[in-house]
Amino acid sequence: MVFYIKRTLTLDMDLDELMRRLFELYPEGYTDGSRDPFFVLISTVMSHRTRDDVTYPAARKLFERFSTPEEMVGADVEEIEALIKDVGFYRVKSGRIKEISGILLEEYDGEVPDDMETLLKLPGVGRKTANCVLAHAFLKDALAVDTHVHRISNRLGLVETKTPEETELELKKIFPQKYWKHINLLLVKLGQNICRPISPKCEVCVLNDMCPKILL
């Protein structure tokens, strides 16, 4: 059985060293392979309550058939449903994809907005999705916090927060801005492979000597 002893917050942690180790572990981890804003937006909407290894194959399948807002609006919702049926709540998300595409065409000339306030007006888009679009599609200094980032930030003792929104605000206070757009992809990969919600692989984690939880 695994037990943990929690120390105090490690506010004196070497954040440059932490990021260096993550960059070294996941050299491909701070780019997701696509900077198309529409793909980033739609795939992130699809990812809600769905694993990445399910989301992105479904998103690629969808975009092989419909790759622009014009094509999405013209598609039958049943065909979109069939293409993304592996993701959670695919029927709801199919309607939302068409709705978002219609709004982009009607109000933004078919372009994905590149500012937080406007992105948050789109249906189904919260701060995490908006930050992902800003960071990964537009390379802006945005910090997206999902369940992985929230969990790992608290485990590492970087923050003591109850919600992802609180975590975003606190991480921005301690991390240099140059790291903000990389944190999500790096910590998501760490959370999927090593710092898992249950049975984390602390013994092989590159951050184990920096983590305030002692494996006994």
Q: Which residues are catalytic?
A: 128, 146
Q: Report how far Cα 190 is from the mean position of its chain's Cα atoms.
A: 12
Give the C-alpha separation, 128 to 11, whole Å.
Answer: 24
Contact indicator for 146, 168 with CB cutoff of 8 Å = no
Give the C-alpha separation, 148 to 5, whole Å.
Answer: 21
Q: Tell how many helices (H) and how many strands (E) occur in the chain.
A: 11, 2
Residues 6 or more apart from 3 whose CB is under 8 A from it? 216
**Alpha helix segments (H runs only) across 8-160:** 15-25, 37-46, 52-65, 69-74, 77-83, 90-108, 116-119, 127-132, 147-155
Cross-strand pairs, 5? 214
Give the C-alpha separation, 107 to 125, whole Å.
Answer: 16
Is 132 among the annotated ligand-binding positions?
no
- Annotated binding-site ranges for [4Fe-4S] cluster: 195, 202, 205, 211
- Annotated binding-site ranges: 195, 202, 205, 211
